[in-house]
């Protein structure tokens, strides 16, 4: 309103004194400003729909050598940082923009299947777990790959070190029948004892079946359900301390897969189901979620986005079983809208121990 009033004054002068160059110049300047403000108001509604976080590239911001102010320690706010910050502000100095902008992210990894050296590569590429670098591993830590003991002990170690920042969900291979066939039981018995395998079996039964991030994204190993109407409260009520049943929500969380067509169909795995984009949409709407993240299937690019962006698969075992040639991937979720960022990687060399070295000798190599 003030700008428009300021615009009216020189416009009136121009009408009264049409030959006054100074009045004409001021009129033209005000006209430009008013038009610019009108344009900004017109696009403001569109801009407000997008989070500012989307336009930030915090990782590539550099802190110049000459900056002598407070810095986050590994991205973490500490008491030392806060004391330095208060003194810095007291002297009327400015905190570096990277520290002011810095936001937390979480990294979601899919199946690792005993590929220990590829797990180490993930930590090399993405950084070790820490309070400022949290991880969620989405099941199938063991079986097939012949370094499953090393994988699971490393993951359990980080869970003990950072219980609030390192999360493990159960997969269909954290179960006795899978472990007996696909190698983990044999590997534990070869490297330790049968009693050690029994302990792993007990611990696997306590692993969570799903995790909800910021009330927007649901993560599970397999997928959605054989029937409509399942709620987050239903999932919380599941008695998970057991071997999974052959049907029902617990089974589906570990075993189901998405399909491109609407509806449901019989699973190619012989257990649970395949679910279509309409099933995904109804589940998300009922539970007020944005999308799901799942694993459970090898993907050539390490990840796949289906169901109009509502169903994301991530798989973190590159060159699966030393023969598939696929990439691995992990996902970053950050910002207010948890928009996924995909990061791909390729397999690294490992000692000359073939996959399935500890598997049931009668079992032919298959991809489940």
- Order of strands across the sheet with 273-275? 257-258, 273-275, 264-266
- The one catalytic residue in 173, 221, 307, 350 is 173
Among 316, 315, 319, 323, CA closest to 348? 319
Strand order, beta sheet including 217-220: 210-213, 217-220, 291-294, 311-314, 303-306
| Rounded-to-integer distance, Cα 347 and Cα 349, Å | 7
3-state SS class at 352: coil
Active site residue 350: no
Phi, psi of 115 (to 5 degrees): -95, 75
H or E element, residue 274: strand 273-275
DSSP state of 351: -
Give backbone dihedrals phi and psi of 45, rounded to 5 degrees, phi first.
-65, -35
> Which residues are the active-site residues?
173
């Amino acid at each position: 309103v003030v700008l428009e009033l300021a615009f009216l004054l020189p416009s009136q002068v121009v009408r009264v004194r049409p030959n006054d160059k100074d009045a004409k110049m001021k009129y033209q300047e005000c006209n430009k400003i008013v038009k610019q403000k009108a344009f900004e108001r017109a696009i403001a509604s569109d801009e407000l729909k997008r989070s500012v976080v989307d336009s930030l590239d915090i990782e590539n911001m550099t802190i110049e050598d000459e900056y002598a102010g407070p810095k986050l320690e590994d991205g973490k706010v500490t008491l030392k940082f806060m004391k330095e910050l208060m003194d810095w502000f007291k002297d009327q100095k400015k905190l570096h923009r990277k520290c002011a902008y810095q936001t937390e992210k979480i990294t979601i990894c899919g199946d690792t299947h005993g590929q220990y050296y590829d797990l180490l590569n993930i930590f090399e590429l993405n950084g070790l777990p820490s309070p400022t670098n949290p991880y969620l591993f989405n099941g199938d830590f063991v079986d097939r790959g012949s370094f499953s003991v090393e994988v699971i002990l490393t993951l359990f170690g980080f869970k003990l070190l950072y219980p609030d920042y390192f999360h493990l969900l159960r997969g269909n291979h954290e179960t006795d029948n899978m472990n007996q066939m696909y190698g983990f039981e044999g590997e534990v018995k070869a490297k330790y004892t049968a009693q050690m395998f029994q302990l792993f079996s007990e611990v696997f039964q306590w692993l969570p079946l799903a995790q909800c991030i910021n009330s927007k994204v649901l993560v599970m190993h397999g997928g959605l359900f054989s029937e409509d109407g399942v709620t987050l409260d239903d999932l919380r009520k599941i008695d998970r301390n057991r071997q999974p049943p052959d049907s029902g929500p617990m089974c589906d969380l570990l075993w189901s897969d998405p399909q491109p067509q609407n509806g449901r169909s019989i699973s190619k795995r012989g257990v649970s189901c395949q679910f279509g984009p309409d099933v995904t949409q109804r589940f998300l709407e009922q539970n007020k979620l944005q999308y799901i993240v799942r694993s459970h299937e090898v993907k050539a690019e390490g990840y796949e986005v289906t169901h109009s962006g509502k169903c994301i698969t991530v798989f973190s075992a590159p060159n699966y079983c030393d023969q598939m040639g696929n990439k691995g991937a992990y996902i970053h979720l950050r910002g207010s809208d948890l928009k996924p960022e995909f990061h791909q990687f390729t397999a690294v060399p490992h000692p000359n121990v073939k996959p399935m070295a500890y598997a049931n000798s009668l079992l032919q190599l298959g991809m489940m």
